[in-house]
Amino acid sequence: MIVSKSLEMRLNNAGFKVIAAVNTGEEAIQICQSYTPDCILMDIKLSGELDGVQTAAIIKSKKNIPVIYLTAFADDEILEKAKFTDPFGYLLKPFDIRDLKKTIEIALYKHNLEIKLRQSEEKFRILFNHSPLGNVLFDQQGKIADVNPAFVKMIGCSKEQLIDKSLWKILYGKEKVFNRDSLINTRSIETHINSLDGQKNWLKISFSSIDLPQAAINYFLGVAEDVTVQKLSEEILKESEVKLRRMVENLPAGAVYLDDKSFYFNTEVENITGYKANEISDLNQWFEKLFPGQTDQALNYYNNDKLDKFNLTRIIEITRKDSEKRKLEFVAHLFSSGEVWILNDITQKVKAEEKLIKSRDQLKKLSEHLQAAREEERANIAREVHDDLGQSLTALKMDLVWLKKNRLIGEELLSEKLDCMIDVINQTIKTIQRIATELRPKLIDDLGLVSAIEWQTREFQNKSGIKCKISLIDDSINLNNKASLTVFRIFQEALTNIVRHSNADSVEIKITSNNKNFYLSIHDNGGGIPKNKLDASTSIGIIGMNERADIVGGHLIINTDSKKGTEIIVIIPVKENT
């Protein structure tokens, strides 16, 4: 008792608080039931029925309190018994208080570490077992040490069936060898397994190294996620994409499909744009290549245009890879998962419509021109009738009135008056013939087209003062009346245009033919026709000549140069017009 009091005092002086000092194991057990001391100093030899080792074992079974043995006995048998109680220290009497203090401090430190370790292990165990992901603990050879319920469910068997089994054989159907570094570097795998209950599942497993206290070997943690639904969805999506690609590819029109991950189009779009599918991989490249110089504007217009809409129909103009402009009918079908565009090249249709509009405008102007020409022709005829024929008839009337009044004149004077009247009648006949010839040259019917052209050339040269030269290479031309009159009217219009617009002083006319075509060339040495007027809808003379040639299946070729003048070549097919 004196010894325990002395030890208690020394411990208090060392900074420790002693809550009790007892002589028997039974008393020690009783104290520990009422209190929970941080540490117990236990002598192996105690009064009563229990020795120190037995007492320590009972206390350890009820409470986790570190025990340090203090004893004067050090035989092997006693030490071996003491080991089973996991003591935190063993001091032989006599001992120094400093050694005791160090032993107590070490014991408390180790005990706190063990508590924290147990808490950490408990947290790990809770997380391991209650995680919705499958957890499997295994060694470097793949031997399973532990699994959680989620992993058991994924594999489709009991926990007992998995413990000590090879993880690799379960996952791959055969054994595999991994070292520590290769396992850590693998990080994760995706594997398709046939679970023990007959189900086919996809698992994604991530690996990490884990250090377990007091474990003599390296352990690894595998965290498994059942990605079967995801894989099935991906397979369904891939099948859908394959079907969609086939549908897009087989559409007769150009078709484009795009979503967050994909952008592809069929061969018809390649034909329309000139770009191969591997040259345009996303929406931005599409707008960059097909709308150069206005990429941002076109992209912004498209993004704004499709807001709150499910279908778009627009007429757009793109620039092909070869820089050619194309008009497209653009139809976009918008879905939650992506977009499908249908593209129709309507360039020729638009050109045809524009040509039709232009043709209608030209026909309108031509009709107005023809009406004006008819009115001018009527005015000319009226003037000719009034001025020439009217004057001649008036003169005849005056002569007849004079004769009536002077019936008794002499024969000589009568003969002279009659001669004057005959001259007036002859002049009137010539005037009538000239007017008739201008309306329709009788030469075409009597002598043919070539003679009519020669006559018209002489008339033109006499009236305009422009020197004319005719080259007749083939005089066996025998076009029918309709074609001949058409060529003659075109020739007249060409000469009229030369007088009005060319400022020429000479004209060369060539007539030739072969088995296929009749050719008439009218070439002046004037200033040429400006390009902006050559195809303009206001060039009524050219339009009229083209229209006339087209009626008999022919056409015109116009070559013009500001220095060499203008050449109009009339080409008429012989077979259809003879």
Q: Does pLDDT of 475 surpass 70?
A: no
Indicate whether 170 and 275 sit together in one domain: no
Dihedral sign for Cα atoms in the order 247, 250, 253, 257: positive
161 domain-assigned: yes
pLDDT for res 424: 79
Q: What is the mean pLDDT of residues 325-340?
A: 84
Q: Is 479 among the domain residues?
A: yes
Co-location of 139 and 83 in the same domain: no
d(CA 132, CA 151): 9
Q: What is the CATH number of the domain that holds 573?
A: 3.30.565.10
Q: Which of 54, 102, 100, 108 is nearest to 81 (CA)?
A: 54
pLDDT tens, position by position, 69-79: 777 666 666 66
What pLDDT band is residue 520 in, cutting at 50, 70 and 90?
Answer: very high
Q: Does the pLDDT at position 356 exceed 70?
A: yes
Other beta carbons less than 10 A from residue 107's beta carbon: 20
pLDDT band, very low/low/confident/very high, at 221 (cuts 50, 70, 90) = confident
390 falls in which pLDDT band (50, 70, 90)? low
Question: Between the CA atoms of 289, 293, 299 and 302, what dihedral angle is there, to the nearest 10 degrees?
Answer: -100
Lowest mean pLDDT, pick from 232-236, 262-266, 377-381, 431-435: 377-381
Same structural domain, 105 and 7? yes
Of 85-99, 421-435, 504-518, least confident by mean pLDDT is 85-99
Which residues contact residue 534 at a Cβ distance below 8 angstroms, ignoring those fewer than 6 apart? 542, 558, 560
Residue with the larger pLDDT of the pair 322 and 9: 322
pLDDT band at 568 (very low <50, low <70, confident <90, very high): very high
User: For residue 209, what is the domain's CATH number?
Assistant: 3.30.450.20
Mind spelling out the 3-state secondary structure of 81-139? HHHCCCCCEEEECCCCHHHHHHHHHHHHHHHHHHHHHHHHHHHHHHHHHHCCCEEEEEE
Same domain, 206 and 104: no
Q: Which of 174-188, 208-222, 247-261 has the highest mean pLDDT?
A: 247-261
Highest mean pLDDT among 122-126, 436-440, 538-542: 122-126
Helix (H) or strand (E) holding 520: strand 517-524
Residues 104, 169: one domain?
Answer: no
Q: Which burial class, exposed, middle or buried, applies to 294 when counting CB atoms under 10 A from its CB (0-12, 13-18, 19+)?
A: exposed
pLDDT at 307 over 90: no
Domain closes at, from 70, 98, 123: 123
CA dist., res. 50 & res. 179, Å (int) = 52
Instruction: For residues 274-290, give the mean pLDDT.
Output: 90
For the chain, the average pLDDT equals 79
- DSSP character at residue 261: S
Q: Are residues 251 and 221 in the same domain?
A: no
- Asked if residue 206 and residue 297 are part of one domain, the reply reads no
| Residues contacting 484, CB < 8 A, separation 6+ | 444, 448, 449, 452
Please answer whether residues 346 and 327 qualify as being in contact, where contact means their C-beta atoms are separated by less than 8 angstroms.
yes
How far, in Å, are 5, 42, 47 from residue 72 at the CA level? 18, 12, 15
Q: Of 160-169, 219-228, 302-311, 347-356, give the lowest mean pLDDT range.
A: 302-311
Task: Looking at mean pLDDT, say which of 99-103, 117-121, 177-181, 464-468 comes out highest.
Answer: 464-468
Please say which residue of 226, 243, 277 terminates a domain: 226
Note whether 466 and 507 are within 8 A (CB): yes
What average pLDDT does the segment 466-493 reach?
Answer: 84
* Spatial distance between the Cα atoms of 463 and 455, rounded to a whole number of angstroms: 12
Average pLDDT for 136-144 = 85
Q: What confidence score (pLDDT) does residue 524 get?
A: 93
Q: Looking at the DSSP assignment, which residues form a beta bridge with residue 555?
A: 571
Which domain-ending residue is among 161, 194, 226?
226
SS3 call for 441 = coil
Tens digit of each residue's pLDDT (9 = 90 or more) over 395-407: 777 777 777 777 7
CA nearest 287: which of 265, 271, 302, 306?
Answer: 302
pLDDT band at 507 (very low <50, low <70, confident <90, very high): very high
Answer yes or no: is 413 within a domain: no
From the number of C-beta atoms within 10 Å of its C-beta (0-12, 13-18, 19+), residue 130 rates as exposed
Task: Give yes or no for residue 320 having a pLDDT over 90.
Answer: yes
> Bigger pLDDT: 222 or 309?
222
- Do 324 and 245 have their domain in common? yes
Using DSSP bridges, classify how beta strands 134-139 and 506-513 pair: parallel, antiparallel or unpaired.
Answer: unpaired
Q: Are residues 458 and 531 in the same domain?
A: yes
Q: What pLDDT score does 521 carry? A: 93
Sign of CA dihedral 461, 464, 465, 468: negative
Q: Based on the domain organization, do 114 and 22 belong to the same domain?
A: yes
Range of the domain at 188: 131-226
Res. 2: pLDDT tops 50? no
In the 8-state DSSP scheme, what is residue 212? P
Supply the pLDDT for residue 1: 47
Q: Determine the pLDDT at residue 129.
A: 82
- The answer to whether residue 250 sits within a structural domain is yes
Q: Is 404 among the domain residues?
A: no
Identify the top-confidence range among 470-484, 505-519, 520-534: 505-519
Residue 380 lies in a domain: no
Residues 74 and 110 in one domain: yes
Please give the Cα distance from 306 to 313 (Å, whole number).
Answer: 10
Residues 193 and 238 in one domain: no
The per-residue pLDDT for 185 is 63
Confidence of residue 276 (pLDDT cuts 50, 70, 90): very high
Split into its structural domains, the chain has a count of 4
Q: What is the pLDDT of residues 159-178, one digit of tens each?
A: 888 898 888 888 777 666 66
Specify if 414 maps to a domain: no
